[in-house]
A and B are shown apart, each in its own frame.
Chain A
Amino acid sequence: MTFKSPVGFQKRMLKGAVVLWMLVFFVPCHGVVGSGEFGNVYAIKAGKIITVTGGIIENGTILVRDGIIQAVGQNIIIPPDAEVVAADTMWVYPGMIDAHTSLALKLPKKKEGDDAQEQQKQTPASSEGKASPELLKSDRCAADLLNPKDAKIAKVCQAGVTTVLTVPTSGIFIGQSALINLFGDTAEEMILKSPVAMHLGYQRQTGVYPSTLFGVIVYQRQTFLDAQHHQLLWDRYEKQRAGWHRPLPDKSLDALIPVLKGNLPIIISANKENEMKRAVRLAEEFGLNYMISGATEGWRVVDLLKAQKKPLLVSLNFPKPKDVTGYTFKLKVKGPEKEKPDEKKAEAKKEEEENPEKKEIYANASVLHRAGIMLAFTSQGLKKPDEFLKNAAKAVEHGLPKEEALKAMTINPATIFGVADQVGSIEEGKIANLVITTGDMFDEKTKVKLVFIDGHKVDVEEAKKKPDEEPAVDVTGTCDMMVTTEMGDISATVTLIQTGSEVTGTFKSEMGTSGITDGTISGSDIEFSVTLPIMDQPRELVFIGTVEEDTMEGSLDLGAMGTAEWKANRPGWE
């Protein structure tokens, strides 16, 4: 077009400007909005942003796009396509990291004849005290066992935790853990890092070697020696294949070679004083790059732990005074046996004030911190997800500086697991894992309102607010239950009596008989507790499940030994 009139020129300029404006704003946005892989665009306006590494920002904004924190500060320009989250009266924290759980893991189905115990029984003269190769699960990866649909995930998010280290359970060489974000439809979407570390436990086997603690310890040592020899043979074979029969491949021993070399850290579970000392002994014998997880009695060996110069994963599952090493020295037993429920809280508070042993237990983290040890908190052993933060608050009450407690749930675990450039604080470039609360996280009145994981908004409040429904089913009667665990199946006869939404009754099994406590029915959801001896200690086991037309089934948390599944016929039905 050659004709140039002043009006036409203006029109062209306008067109150009419009096109330019669209290019600048719409094209890139269109591309991002359409991809939808890492969530939408959010601008979170918050009253207080606790960044952890960059101080506290008052009345600031966090810009999230592509699941990443694009900007955080006080004068952030909010892009037009951003959804504004008005948290102007609220606080924002980085998503909490729980440094040791067995969340979102699915038990592998047991195959026929797979059971080492079964094999033992079938071959009488095989009592040669040899550990079954099945026991060495060093090549088992949590990343391969993830179950994104685990019902517990929602509850954990409600408590403000967005990222967990998930570890397979049970066994001695337990397997390799994965650090996961608690959001995703598939396992791949959840994985942040895998493997994170090798895990070592002290679980005694039943009926097969090793069944005693000293058997377990020597099995650990022998396995490391086996791995060293395996490494030697393969190294030599790589250098000279001529003249030698090839060494046998062994995936489990292969998995231990990076541990021996120090490239893959090994996390050893140890809580009590002597357990920690044994862990240190083993680690020193093989020069392992290790960390202890648990350390609930850490204060008792603080000098030893300080000298080790390693970070420590500290469980917030405070033991009872009578379970702490050295308690047998004291002959008196405190506390009234049975009390009225409304008096319980007052009594508990009073007892705590008078009880120096409890104070010592709660002050564990503060003692370890003062010794200069880097701490990361874990929920290992805790029954309910909300206890994680509650117990962290208790540690703060007993001497741990609040900032340190926060670091122990954010930047410290991130640093320890080598992902400090991705999570653990609110910084530009990091993953948008955020927790929006009504106030200070350590205040018991504070509620978690909203959680962001990988830049996805997760509505936690709604799930929490769901009221207890009227019972839609009646489970009065007797039923046969089968509990499936990694270590074997347990059959039980359960008698239930339902009155309104409360359930009582008895649980009879080969592990023992127990009364049913804290039983509730909400809609068709059932929950009850049973106390049974596990490894010679009485433990409270919480059964959670749903009642179908003719069956009931659900899951059961065995703490360090993982999650089991239970199934029963509907009581009263054939």
Chain B
Amino acid sequence: MMLIVRWRTRLISGLTVMVLMIVIPLHGQLKVEGEGDALLIKNATVMTVTQGTIENGSILIRDGKIVAVGSGIAEPDGIRVIDARGRYVIPGIIDSHSHMCSEGGINEMTGTVTPEVNVEDILRHDDIGMQRALAGGVTALNTLHGSANVIGGRNAVIKLKFGKPVEELMIPSAMSGIKFALGENPKRSNYSDPRGSRFPISRMGVMHKVREAFTQAKEYMRAWDEYELKKQGKIEQARWEKKLGPIPPKRDLRLEALADILRGKLTIICHGYRADEMLALMELGDEMGFKVGSYEHCLEGYKIADEMVEHGVIASIFADMWAYKMEAFDAIPYNAALLTEHGVVVTVNSDSNERIRRLYQEAARTIKYGMSEEDALKTITLNPAKMLYIDDRVGSIEVGKDADLAIFNGHPFSVYSKVEMTLIEGEIYFDLSTAKTVEKTLLKSAN
């Protein structure tokens, strides 16, 4: 049977398709209209993370904070408005593992144990990578010491306020931790000529270094405790100390950092791949009195999910990379889903200035391998916020939290979507429509 279509039908359907093809993609540029202190983003699909997704939702922002979220928020007078019709708004993405915004080297490789160094000392605010990360919807990140040292240095959690001076970047109440590294990275860093010029070159050497470092730290703590007790008169001073009082031990910044881990003031951000070494460190922690805060990469984490839950350690992983080195051989893309199923808090990170631009796509890929859409979104929003102790301020779209938002022109997990606007504390730091003439945008916000 021949399908006869009248020419009129064809014409109408053709015209309709053409019109739809023009109208649907073109919602018009996302722009701010009006004047005022407060900002209203309206008519968007708001993915709050903690309270579901709101269709035709609005977000009211005042003084950098979210003051109202919901559908049908009354639009007050005298405010700026962004009509985000057809757009999706998610909380600003948080990358829990990065090395951005640092200068002068991230690996103090001339020593194996160097927790005294601090990324906060080398922060820079003029890293073009920030602009590119903002273009990928990222509003905050955790910048770390590298993984060439068994025990590296302290991290810094920053918001990507590109154009602001460096002292405005750091979030002071955020997690402070020391970067540890197990496995191939620390030991293979020492294979170069002369071989073994730096200890260790084996996994057992790596574990020994951790044990040795904490043993020294405990001795340091004991010396200081003794001094404090003597000062307070709680224990007797030595015979010759009585005249001038006890002498304090010399402050050693390295041992102090290790002591702070034992005291719980600093957490451990540990780079590890293999299940055996990750288990070993947790066991050492139980023995010596420290907790591992997070395992970075953790590609064999699925094998020890229950032990990780018991220890309370967070998994900060890649979505689906595997076999790029021997210790990544047993990595599987179901890692995120399996860990989540067992109750481990999972974050998806980039560890790369390139991958950070598409972290939302990284998170999306975990859905194919068993993660739910809500959980996938959590891996780049609420979970890293929890890991970095900033979930009281960011990580979801809730009243009272900072207005750190990313506006996409489609579902963030759709391969066709792009970030149109990124805001930090209500200020627009990335706008796709002006990205090409970025000098103008930044000359306004820079000094």
Contact = CB atoms under 8 A, between A and B. Distances in A.
Interface of A: 120-121, 124-125, 127-130, 204-205, 207-218, 221-222, 225-226, 229, 232-233, 236, 239-240, 242-244, 273-274, 277-278, 300, 325-332
Contacts of A244: 240
A207 B194 CA distance: 12
Given A130-B111, A274-B123, A329-B438, A214 B446 contact: no
Contacts of B252: 222, 225
Contacts of B239: 243
Nearest to A224: B251
Nearest to A122: B194
Nearest 10 CB-CB pairings of A with B: A129-B111, A213-B104, A243-B240, A212-B105, A127-B198, A209-B110, A214-B117, A229-B250, A215-B108, A329-B442
Given A218-B117, A329-B443, A209 B111 contact: yes
A260 B199 CA distance: 36
A277 B111 contact: no
A327 B126 CA distance: 8
B197 A121 contact: yes
Interface of B: 103-114, 116-119, 121-128, 131, 153, 163, 165-167, 190, 194, 196-199, 239-240, 243-244, 247-248, 250-254, 438-439, 442-443, 446-447
A536 to B, nearest CB: 10
Contacts of A125: 196, 199
A300 to B, nearest CB: 7
Nearest to B104: A213
Contacts of B446: 326, 329
A237 B131 CA distance: 57
A233 B110 contact: no
Contacts of B198: 124, 127
A129 B243 contact: no
Nearest to A326: B126
Contacts of A274: 103, 123-125, 166
B439 A215 contact: no
17 contacts: A120-B197, A127-B197, A127-B199, A129-B114, A209-B111, A210-B108, A210-B117, A211-B109, A212-B107, A218-B116, A232-B247, A243-B239, A243-B240, A326-B446, A326-B447, A328-B128, A331-B438
A132 to B, nearest CB: 10
A135 B129 CA distance: 35
Contact of B247 (A216, A236, A273, A327): A236
Given A204-B105, A331-B439, A214 B112 contact: no
A104 B42 CA distance: 70
A204 B253 contact: no
A207 B192 CA distance: 12
A124 B248 CA distance: 33
A233 B106 CA distance: 35
B442 A215 contact: no
Contact of A329 (B110, B114, B163, B248): B163
A207 B196 CA distance: 14
A236 B248 CA distance: 12
A282 to B, nearest CB: 9
Contact of A240 (B194, B243, B250, B253): B243
Given A236-B244, A274-B124, 20 more contacts: A127-B111, A127-B197, A127-B198, A210-B108, A210-B110, A212-B117, A213-B103, A214-B121, A214-B122, A215-B110, A218-B116, A218-B117, A225-B253, A226-B250, A229-B250, A232-B247, A273-B165, A326-B446, A328-B127, A330-B442
A244 B163 CA distance: 56
Contacts of A243: 239-240
B358 to A, nearest CB: 21
Given A209-B110, A236-B244, A329-B438, A225 B117 contact: no
B197 A124 contact: yes
B105 A213 contact: yes
B111 A128 contact: yes
Contacts of A277: 166-167
B244 A240 contact: yes
A468 B106 CA distance: 50
B273 to A, nearest CB: 23
A226 B118 CA distance: 19
Nearest to B257: A218
Contacts of A211: 105, 108-110
A329 B113 contact: no
Contacts of B126: 325-329
Contact of B113 (A129, A226, A273, A331): A129
Contacts of A128: 111-113
Nearest to B112: A127
A236 B438 CA distance: 61
A129 B199 CA distance: 11
Contacts of B197: 120-121, 124, 127
A217 B125 CA distance: 18
Nearest to B438: A331
Contact of A218 (B121, B131, B165): B121
A31 to B, nearest CB: 58
A121 B119 CA distance: 28
Contacts of A214: 104-105, 108, 117-119, 121-122, 153
Nearest to B151: A129
Nearest to B197: A124
Contacts of A225: 250-253
A330 B110 CA distance: 36
A238 to B, nearest CB: 11
Contact of B104 (A209, A212, A326, A330): A212
A180 to B, nearest CB: 33
Contacts of B439: 329-332
Contact of A204 (B104, B166, B196): B104
B253 A215 contact: no
A126 to B, nearest CB: 9
Contacts of A213: 103-105, 121-122
A300 B110 contact: no
Contacts of A120: 110, 197
A326 B196 CA distance: 41
A535 B421 CA distance: 38
Nearest to B241: A243
A239 B121 contact: no
Given A329-B439, A329-B442, A332-B439, A129 B108 contact: yes
Contacts of A278: 121
A128 B200 CA distance: 11
Contacts of A229: 248, 250-251
A217 B104 CA distance: 11
Contacts of A236: 244, 247
Interface centre among B114, B442, B446 (most CB of A within 10 A): B114
Nearest to B250: A229
Nearest to B118: A214
A561 B117 CA distance: 25
A233 B108 contact: no
A127 B194 contact: no
Contacts of B240: 240, 242-244
A205 B110 CA distance: 10
Contact of A300 (B196, B247, B447): B447
Given A211-B105, A240-B244, A124 B110 contact: no
Given A129-B113, A211-B108, A239-B244, A217 B250 contact: no
A209 B107 CA distance: 11
A332 B239 CA distance: 72
A298 to B, nearest CB: 13
A216 B105 CA distance: 11
Interface centre among A215, A240, A274, A300 (most CB of B within 10 A): A215
A209 B105 CA distance: 13
A216 B111 CA distance: 13
A505 to B, nearest CB: 32
A478 to B, nearest CB: 29
Contacts of B163: 329
Nearest to B145: A214
A264 B275 CA distance: 56
